[in-house]
Amino acid sequence: MEVWESEFEWLQLRHKVKDLFKKDTLPDLNAMLFVIGIQEYGHIKPSFTKEEKQDLMHIAICRLLSEDGYYEFEGLDTEGWPHWKLSKKIPAQSLKDQENLLKEKIIQYFKNHDANEVV
């Protein structure tokens, strides 16, 4: 996929999520990870603590990178939180390359999960 195509898909997806949640601004990468984290957690609460928000973004990253075999789902704890374990070492990348990888994985995630049905 060409760079411009990927950037266009990313922008389209951000607009779709913005509209879905009736927000005024486009969600950034962290907000998109937060949405995926909530989806994977499976529980919606009126609010999450700062630590829970970080955990949700970590869950999202593990879920996204599990597609390439970097993480393996271990199961849920007694409170229903998903737990993952590192299956293979993630290659070192620049911050920009990491962001691009996550954006590609997020786009794929929403292609596999109808964005209108997320959370």
Domain membership of residue 93 (yes or no) is yes
- Asked whether residue 76 carries a pLDDT value surpassing 60, the answer given is yes
> Which pTM value belongs to this model?
0.91
Backbone angles phi, psi at 42, to 5 degrees: 85, 5
Residues 109 and 62: their CA atoms lie apart, in Å, by 12
Q: Is residue 109 part of a domain?
A: no
* Structural domain harbouring 60: 3-104
Residue 115 resides in a domain: no
User: Is residue 24 a part of any domain in this protein?
Assistant: yes
Q: Give me the helix-helix angle, 29-41 and 95-112, nearest 10°.
A: 50
Residue 53: CA count within 13 A, CB half-sphere? 8
Mind listing the pLDDT tens digit for each residue in 2-59?
Answer: 888 999 999 999 999 999 999 999 999 999 999 999 999 999 899 999 999 999 999 9
Per-residue pLDDT reduced to its tens digit, 84-94: 999 999 999 99
Using CA atoms, how far apart are residues 31 and 118, in angstroms rounded to an integer? 13
